[in-house]
């Protein structure tokens, strides 16, 4: 593997490989076994159960998302993986070692195989970009000459070699996060923990950072765990997702499955955020319950899977009905179409019934919202 090659000139992420069977324990990079974490009451604050009954395995070499609202237990999860905290019960296995049982020098050695990037970049203001990247190597006790060579490699890897002598206060958020990624990869870790790494960045910069992470995952084979509250981040990068709510795993599986068939209310709410499920106000304000002469029936079609893009053409060809497209949003998630369409069709009951039965036949869920003149 050629780490000198710049990964920043990002190619679009390749389509996801076919769905793999459940991860076998030996194949897991990170494994939680019956983990719970409680914080005792302290200085008047009541005790908190941050995580309960957490069991999961994160496959080696994959990008896995962990999504949850604030307070869902994401930070505790991160601190259990990187060994900064011990579980109250259960075990946390990273690679081959039980990180929850290690301490002192052994723990510090294990921590070097876990890279971490942060929402607020956490860079030393007193060090240049290059020296920030060198920090974990200094901590690991590398000789000076080797540190210099490795830092140059890493600066090229994240495509920011021209900023090597800049201080963090002179860099943009995206540049700081590139430095953060280089620093996290310095000791050649097998796991990269991304703790809300793009939450402080604008959409365009977020995109470029996520592309960089995808490339790093592909080129270096580093297992990446994306901790986030943004479904769009998970959608863009992750193959599998774990949905966390109030300290419990409420749902998990392949991103495409979760997106097409969300089970839990919290997952649905994450989804509606990126899909914009609401009907436009300009339309909903005109809706009537009863048809009037010449009015259109408004039908809402939820697309989860396939065929949403060809729906209008098929209605026209197969039913000879000209449907108007009133609003639409279709995204592709893990190779599957997810979204919703709002159609206007002629308001006669017979026509509406035919359209609805056609939709149900083709496994779209559809509902009649009302009529507009």
Partner 1 sequence: MSPELINLIIQATGESLFMVAVSASLGTLFGLPIGVFLATSRKGELFAAPAANAILGVIVNATRSTPFIILVVAIIPFTRLVAGTSIGSGAAIVPLTIAATPFIARLVEGAIREVDAGLIETASSFGATPLQVVLKVLIPEALPGLVLSLTLAVVSLLGYSAMVGAVGGGGLGDLGIRYGYQRFMPEMMLAVVVALIALVQTVQTAGDYLARRVNRRLRHR
Where along the sequence are the contacts to partner 1 (CB under 8 A)? 82-84, 107-112, 114, 116, 118, 120, 122, 124-127, 135-136, 138-140, 167-170, 187
Minimum gap (Å) between residue 359 Cβ and partner 1: 51
Closer to partner 1 by Cβ: residue 112 or 164: 112
Closer to partner 1 by Cβ: residue 131 or 309: 131
Which strand (E) or helix (H) includes residue 32? strand 28-39
Q: How far apart are alpha carbons 306 and 335 in whole angstroms?
A: 9
For the record, the structure tokens of 154 come out as 């890493």
- Residue that the structure tokens 């190597």 belong to: 137
H-only helix segments in the chain: 74-81, 104-111, 129-139, 144-157, 173-185, 203-220, 231-237, 255-260, 265-275, 281-284, 311-318, 349-361
Q: List the one residue out of 22, 58, 53, 52 whose CA is nearest residue 39.
A: 52
Minimum gap (Å) between residue 183 Cβ and partner 1: 8
Minimum gap (Å) between residue 306 Cβ and partner 1: 43
Minimum gap (Å) between residue 108 Cβ and partner 1: 4
Distance of CA 142 to the CA centre of its chain: 34
Q: List the one residue out of 358, 274, 333, 290 whose CA is nearest residue 343.
A: 358
Local structure of 1: helix, strand or coil: coil
Minimum gap (Å) between residue 54 Cβ and partner 1: 20
- On whether the CB atoms of residues 315 and 358 are closer than 8 A, the answer is yes
Task: Give the single-character DSSP code of 11.
Answer: P
Closer to partner 1 by Cβ: residue 10 or 119: 119
- On whether the CB atoms of residues 135 and 125 are closer than 8 A, the answer is no
Q: How far apart are alpha carbons 49 and 37 in whole angstroms?
A: 6
Closer to partner 1 by Cβ: residue 68 or 168: 168
Closer to partner 1 by Cβ: residue 63 or 114: 114
Which strand (E) or helix (H) includes residue 336? strand 336-346
Q: How many residues does the chain have?
A: 373
Minimum gap (Å) between residue 126 Cβ and partner 1: 4
> CB count, 10 Å around CB of 229?
18
Closer to partner 1 by Cβ: residue 132 or 260: 132
Minimum gap (Å) between residue 105 Cβ and partner 1: 9
Local structure of 23: helix, strand or coil: coil
- CA dihedral for 367, 370, 372, 373, sign (positive or negative): positive
Minimum gap (Å) between residue 110 Cβ and partner 1: 8
Closer to partner 1 by Cβ: residue 177 or 296: 177
Minimum gap (Å) between residue 136 Cβ and partner 1: 4
Closer to partner 1 by Cβ: residue 82 or 296: 82
Closer to partner 1 by Cβ: residue 85 or 257: 85
Q: Which residues pair with 346 in a beta bridge?
A: 296
Q: Which residues have a Cβ under 8 Å from the Cβ of 2 and sit 6 or more positions away?
A: none
Minimum gap (Å) between residue 84 Cβ and partner 1: 6
């Amino acid at each position: 593997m050629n780490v000198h090659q710049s990964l920043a000139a990002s190619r679009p992420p390749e389509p996801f490989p076919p769905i793999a069977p459940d991860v076998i324990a030996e194949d897991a990079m990170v494994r939680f076994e019956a983990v719970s974490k409680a914080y005792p009451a302290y200085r008047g604050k009541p005790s908190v159960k941050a995580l309960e009954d957490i069991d999961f395995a994160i496959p080696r070499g994959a990008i896995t998302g962990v999504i949850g609202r604030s307070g869902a237990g994401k930070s505790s999860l991160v601190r259990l993986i990187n060994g900064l905290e011990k579980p109250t019960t259960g075990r946390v296995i990273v690679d081959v070692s039980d990180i929850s049982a290690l301490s002192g020098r052994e723990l510090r050695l294990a921590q070097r195989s876990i890279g971490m990037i942060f929402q607020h970049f956490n860079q030393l203001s007193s060090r240049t970009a290059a020296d920030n990247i060198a920090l974990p190597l200094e901590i690991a006790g590398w000789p000076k000459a080797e540190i210099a060579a490795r830092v140059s490699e890493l600066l090229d890897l994240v495509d920011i070699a021209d900023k090597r002598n800049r201080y963090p206060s002179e860099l943009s958020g995206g540049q700081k996060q590139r430095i953060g990624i280089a620093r996290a990869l310095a000791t050649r870790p097998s796991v990269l923990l991304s703790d809300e790494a793009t939450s402080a960045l604008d959409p365009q910069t977020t995109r470029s950072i996520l592309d960089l992470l995808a490339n790093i995952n592909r080129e270096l084979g580093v297992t990446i765990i994306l901790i986030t509250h943004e479904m769009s981040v998970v959608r863009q990068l992750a193959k599998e997702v774990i949905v966390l709510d109030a300290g419990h795993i409420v749902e998990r599986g392949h991103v495409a499955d979760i997106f097409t068939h969300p089970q839990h209310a919290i997952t649905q709410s994450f989804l509606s955020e990126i899909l914009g499920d609401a009907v436009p106000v300009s339309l909903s304000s005109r809706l009537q319950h009863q048809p009037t002469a010449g009015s259109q029936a408004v039908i809402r079609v939820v697309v989860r899977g396939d065929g949403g893009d060809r729906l209008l053409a098929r209605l026209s060809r197969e039913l000879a009905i000209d449907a108007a497209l009133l609003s639409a949003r279709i995204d592709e998630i893990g190779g599957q179409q997810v979204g919703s369409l709002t159609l206007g069709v002629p308001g006669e009951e017979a026509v509406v019934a035919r359209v609805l039965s056609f939709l149900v036949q083709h496994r779209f869920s559809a509902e009649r919202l009302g009529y507009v003149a």
